[in-house]
Structure 1
């Protein structure tokens, strides 16, 4: 677990909270965010105190994601300055002087400072965070395993997972469970639902379970309710594509990439995707994901957002085809007319009187 080193030029047994924070910033802030800011002030009062996002979350009984959200909030109102590495991980936190902080456009939506600045503003204090990769997986030592598994919640969790797996916990299973619980910050209930979901798909391999867990973490799924909603949507979308293509199997990895591209990059609803799959079957007589991708890419470029817009595109396409067909039919007649040698003479238009006169002349000749 990476540490955050807090540095201060002075030590104090008390934490000073400016009145301007209580008067102008605290009322409009989320209570969890207020706890984050106050805890940072408390930590700065301790010389060379080392912390982690995980330890802050544990102390405040919150998740690491919520801690990060709190830090980002205070960055918006300009009370904190955050520095991130190339992996978008926070590597430095500067606690700005609350009296001299300039309000940004976002800050105006949350708080307005009315207090006059002191003659000698305090210097900003800095928190340094060691950079780390996303979801770095540690290897837990025997001592760490003993310490973590000594908690009643973890003991209970391991017993439940053994029931799900229908076997004893193996060392690889234990490392994964502790990783989910300690590093990813999954609750015991979320871990149980994770194993229940994977086992229901007949997937008990730790690598598969870990892959699902990481995808949830990337999507910000940190509760059982969010996981249930995501799995229902996941299954319904894939099932809809399978049904349209007439597949009786789960999509392969490449096929999943296509479906995720249509849903996430193109932002299409599942009914638009199914329409593309239906047209693919009609044109190719087979479930061709590449062909369907071309259809959807064309619709995406033309700004399709709703199924009704596709009908308009079809109508425009039909008109264009008919116009070209009519144009091609007229072209040969025109060419033949131009090649007729009698066209060089002026053409006369006859009236009813002309026809009557010619008829009378013919009768007189008889």
Structure 2
């Protein structure tokens, strides 16, 4: 079969970054791709998460997740509105600062999170490599791990991760192994992961091993849910990872129980909804229902009680409560 592009469609075009195809088209979810393409098409306009959600037929939460992916990938910049950075006119004036002797002592203030920092230039990088055997080792090992020469941008990022984010060489190399295993070893993603690790205080080999072990567990949990729900393999969103972690790792449900919750979700509302499934599983976890047999017995007992109730009596319908509690859709690209 032969395909061709219809010339009439080229009367109106917009630019798409090459990185979308080169680095992300395999990893990004359908929602993530749709959101970015819509945003690129309307790049000269002002829009909100709700605007995109209405245009694509998905939820604002899904748009938020998708945008966060592209922010971490370095293709979208997250801007703070000017009014959010300035005090409102209605706010009272700031109180004058207390003298140093009378200033209250701050207790257990968390450290300020690392911010995006200016990157070192090529000359400075060359000097650091010549002066520091540690930095020289970092650059050599990074090149071996990634299987390609380091670009100037990546070299400066690695140096910034070491000098400014404070990640030791062994931790940085573990981070590179991790992103390489995910097939997402582009410079922007490496920096985003390093920033997250620095914010979490991961600064030792042991802490990095524990972080990677946890991420591996969450990834395996998601794969089990993919199989249980018969979903096509893809990269999960942040919300999907949180549900995977909660259902399989925290609440210790089996994939069979997740499938049972899925079946009830579809029976009740006619579509897959993670938020609806979460309500069901949350109730089962609270009531100690851990096997498909117990779930079937609970459903049978509930049906019997509802059947015996008189028409004029108001009964407490758990499924109706769960439907109402899951009004905000939270789907795998299907709502």
* Larger relative contact order (CA 8 Å, sep ≥ 6): 2
Which of these two proteins has the greater Rg computed from alpha carbons?
A: 1
Which structure dedicates a bigger proportion of its chain to strand?
1
